[in-house]
Amino acid sequence: MLAATLLFGANYWIAKGLMPDHLLPMQIIFLRVLGTLLISWAIQLSVRELRVLRIDRADYPRLILSGLLGVAINQMMFFTGLNRTTPVDAAIINSVNPILVLVFAAWLLKERIGVSRLGGIALGAAGALMLILLGNPLSLKGGHLSGDMFIVGNTAAWSLYLVLSKPLMVKYNPFLIMRWMFLIGFVAVFPFTISQATAIDFSLFDTYTWFAILYIIIGTTFLAYFFITFSLKRLSSPVVAYYTYLQPVLVAVIGIIVYTERISWVKIVSGLLVFAGIYFVTRKNKLLASKKGPFTSKSE
C-alpha cells in the first residue's frame, strides 16, 4: 500500500502536467484503461497457472459493479476534476476516503472498528486537516469548484469500490480480477472517450508526454491497482483506504522538491501525524495477514 500511495502521489503532478496542453482528460483515460487492459490480459494468458482460473457466475454482479466504480467512474471523475482544479485540492479532498470507507465497511461488511484504528484515523485526519486549513486551503475562490466536485465524486466511487471489491480480492487471484475489471471498465469508458481518442496525434508527443503516459499506464494504473488488489487480500478496506492520508503529504513533498515550494512547520507536523496514524491503524492487522501466495485463487 505504501508503494501504491507513492505512485498515486506523484501522479497528481504528472497527470496535471499533461492537461490540457498535451492531452485531454478523456484521451488519457482511454490510453490508461486500454494499456492496463492489454498488460493484464498478456500476463493472464502467458502464465499457465493463471490461464485456468475463472470467476464464479455468482460473483459477476459484484465484479461488474467493481469495474464500473473502481475503473470507469473513478477515473473519469478524477481526470475531469484534476483538469479543472489543482493537485493539492485533489489530494486534500481524497483524504476523506478513509472515513467513507470506514462507514461503508461498517455498514456493508459489518467490519468492527477498534479503538486503535479509530485513534489512528483520528491522527491521520488531524494531520490532513492541519495541512488543509493551515497549509494549503482549498481554492474554491479560484474557480476550481466544479473540479473539486468531480474529485468528491471520484472519492466516493473509490471508497465504495474498496469495500465492495474486498470479497473478490480475498477469493480470487489479483491478476484474474484486474483482467476482467479493466475489461468492464474499458467497455464502460469507450463511448465517452473514443471521439477524443481518435484525435490523438502521437507524432506530436515529446519526451515528457511519453514518460507521463507510460508512468500513468504502468505505474499509477497497472502496478498501483495490482498493489491495492494484492493488499485487499491481506488487509481490511479501512486500512487500505487509510493510506490516502499520505497523499496530501506526498503532494506537498513533491511540490517542495520539484516545484521549490517552501517547507513549513505545518507540513512537518501534519506529516508526522499521518505516519503515527498509519502505525496505529496497521499494527494489529499485520498479525492477520494471509500467508497465501499471489497465485493462490479459486478455479471453476
- What are the boundaries of each domain within the chain? 2-47+57-288
Q: In whole angstroms, give the CA distance from residue 206 to residue 91.
A: 27
**Cα–Cα distance measured from residue 146 to residue 155, given in angstroms and rounded to the nearest whole number:** 14
Question: Is a pLDDT exceeding 90 seen at residue 31?
Answer: yes
**Average pLDDT across the chain, whole number:** 80
Residue entry with cell 473519469: 76
**Which pLDDT score is estimated for 289?**
43
188 or 44: whose pLDDT is higher? 188
Distance CA 29, CA 83 (A): 12
Q: What is the pTM of this model?
A: 0.76
Cα distance from N-terminal residue to C-terminal residue, the chain:
30
Rounded percentage of the chain residues whose pLDDT exceeds 90: 28
Residue length of the chain: 300
pLDDT digits (tens, 9 = 90+) for 60-118: 999 999 999 999 999 999 888 888 877 767 777 777 777 778 778 777 777 676 777 77
Which DSSP letter does residue 243 get? G
Closest CA to 42 of 211, 150, 175, 155: 175
